Amino acid sequence: MKLYSFYQDLSSSTVVLIALAVILFSGFLVTRITKLLRLPNVSGYILAGILIGPYVLGAIPPAVSEGMSFVSDIALAFIAFGVGKFFKKKVIRRTGGRIVVIAVLESLLAGLLVTLGMLLIFGLDLKFCLLLGAVATATAPASTMMTINQYHAKGEFVNTLLQVVALDDVVCLLAFSAVTAAVGSEKGSASVWDVILPILYNLGAIALGFLCGFLLSRLLTPQRSKDNRLILAIAMLLGLCGICAAVNVSPLLSCMVFGAAYINLTRDKKLFRQLNNFTPPVLSIFFIVSGMNLNVAALGTIGVVGIAYFLIRIAGKYAGAFLGCLITKSPVNTRNYLGLGLIPQAGVAIGLAFLGQRMLPAELGSAFLTIILCSSVLYELIGPASAKAALVLAGVIPKNVSSAVESDAAAGEPELTDATISPEDDLSPACGTEDGQTAGATAEQNGGCPPDASSATPPLS
């Protein structure tokens, strides 16, 4: 008997309130265990979701979990807006070309290896192999970004990782559109508009994100109160998110451009700090609900082909990142460990999996969808741990940080302070002040803030 049967005599509003309490408490309790195992909080949230989900305890009514699909769009919108802060003009001028090379190589090499592996090793249908390879190019940014936030990681390695992850979905979308145009469908060639429309919608969403950044920069005058600043920013983020959902476009790119436009037009970090104080419960609910929706029972049907896809994609991501860093002469630590932070896959990949399923015969389409969904379970479980390993091996967080970084105040959620999420300070002299106007010469020479700067990362002990 599933635990959600105890909700049957309660009103709908009571069920939702209790379910939200169970979701948040479960995340807190499981992260107490993952803390002892030195795993990131994101892993704990996903495990908590699996535990209270329909395949184990069934502690949340199916109607509630199905009705919370909007949480993923909101969480991704907040995450993407925060990532936009890293795309300052001077940072892009310094690292832009290098980042594009790395992102293209790590994405396309993973896709190429998966395609060739499925074709040569298993002799599968060419359409199936091409579509599987196209989806393999995607990386899910959320768990990697949350792991970086949790451990207060800063430095050139973190800047490179964040910017590569941010561009990954662009490469994936273009690769999938090209493959879709090439393979067509079983009943005939795909319509030109089936390929062009998603690209046009994404370009429109990007333009809308820039417009929102411009409007917000004009609306948030110095006289505006803190409360109204927060209200206006969240209202625009939710509106942008809703528009993207209406045309079936991921809010990631649009909200990323929104954040980038705002920071470049205003240099205002206060708004990002305000939003970061608002988001931890939303993000924890997002990852727990993601865990609840993972079809654990389907793992048994993934088979040898699914396992091969899982391993080949990891090898392709690592090799592509290594090669890209080698070509662009990136630091040794970045070259050796960047690939470990690119393992997670969900979100965009799952959305494309449903589209790819419709382009294949029924049996192949079902196998295609099962492979993507089941491998996403594994990727999301090991992704946060591999991201943490990358940060430790690259030297941007100490090896014993997991016991020091947690506190009762964090209550199992990541501590998203401005200092936590401002690795771009390592690339610019904008340290020590909220508006980034001044910095000591020592900080500029060392590539970061001086030890006593007001915006420096808080001690972890």
* Per-residue confidence band for 425, with pLDDT thresholds at 50, 70 and 90: very low
Is 305's pLDDT higher than 90? Answer: no
SS3 185: strand
**Cβ-based neighbours of 339, under 8 Å, separated by 6 or more:** 106, 317, 318, 319, 320, 321, 322, 390
Name the more confident of 25 and 87.
25
Q: What residue type is 225 in one-letter code?
A: S
**290-319: average pLDDT:** 80
Question: Rounded to two decimals, what is the model's pTM?
Answer: 0.65
Are the beta carbons of 287 and 384 closer than 8 angstroms?
Answer: no
Which pair of structure tokens corresponds to residue 163? 């910017």
Select the more confidently predicted residue: 436 or 2. 2
pLDDT of residue 195: 64
pLDDT of residue 170: 72
pLDDT bucket at 12, cuts 50 / 70 / 90: confident
Phi-psi region of 447 (alpha: psi -120 to 50; beta: other; left: phi over 0): left
Digit-coded pLDDT (tens) for 342-381: 888 766 676 677 667 777 777 777 777 778 777 777 787 7
Q: Check the CA dihedral 357-380-338-279 and report its sign.
A: positive
pLDDT digits (tens, 9 = 90+) for 249-303: 777 778 888 998 999 998 888 888 888 888 888 888 888 887 787 766 666 666 7
Angstrom distance (rounded) from CA 441 to CA 449 = 10
Among 128-142, 219-233, 254-268, 389-403, which is the least confidently predicted range? 389-403
Q: What is the pLDDT of residue 191?
A: 59
Distance of alpha carbon 82 from alpha carbon 421, whole angstroms: 8
pLDDT, averaged across the chain: 76
pLDDT in tens, 202-238: 788 889 999 999 999 999 888 888 889 999 999 999 9
Q: What is the pLDDT of residue 137?
A: 87
- Using the predicted structure, report yes or no on whether residue 306 has a pLDDT greater than 80: yes
pLDDT in tens, 155-203: 788 888 888 887 777 787 778 767 776 665 444 455 566 667 777 887 8
Backbone angles phi, psi at 439, to 5 degrees: -165, 155
Mean pLDDT computed over 429-438: 37
Give the span between the Cα atoms of 413 and 426, in whole angstroms: 25
For 49-65, b/e burial (b = at least 16 CB within 10 A) is bbbbbbeeebbbbeebb
User: What pLDDT sits at residue 400?
Assistant: 58
Residues 6+ apart with CB under 8 A from 346: 140, 142, 290, 376, 379, 380
pLDDT score of 431: 40
Overall average pLDDT of the 405-417 stretch: 39
- In this prediction, residue 29 carries a pLDDT of 93
Is pLDDT larger for residue 101 or for residue 253? Answer: 101
Query: For residue 348, what pLDDT is reported?
Result: 66
CA–centroid distance for 391 within its chain? 16
Lowest mean pLDDT among 14-18, 175-179, 325-329: 175-179
- Phi, psi dihedral angles at 296 (to 5 degrees): -65, -35
CA atoms within 13 A on the CB side of 39: 20
Query: How far is Cα 367 from Cα 98, in angstroms, rounded to an integer?
Result: 37
Instruction: List C-alpha distances in Å: 24 to 44, 53, 79, 155, 287.
Output: 12, 13, 19, 32, 11
Over 60: is that where the pLDDT of 60 sits? Answer: yes
Does residue 82 contact residue 256 with C-beta atoms inside 8 Å?
no
Please give the radius of gyration of the chain, using alpha carbons only, rounded to the nearest integer.
Answer: 22
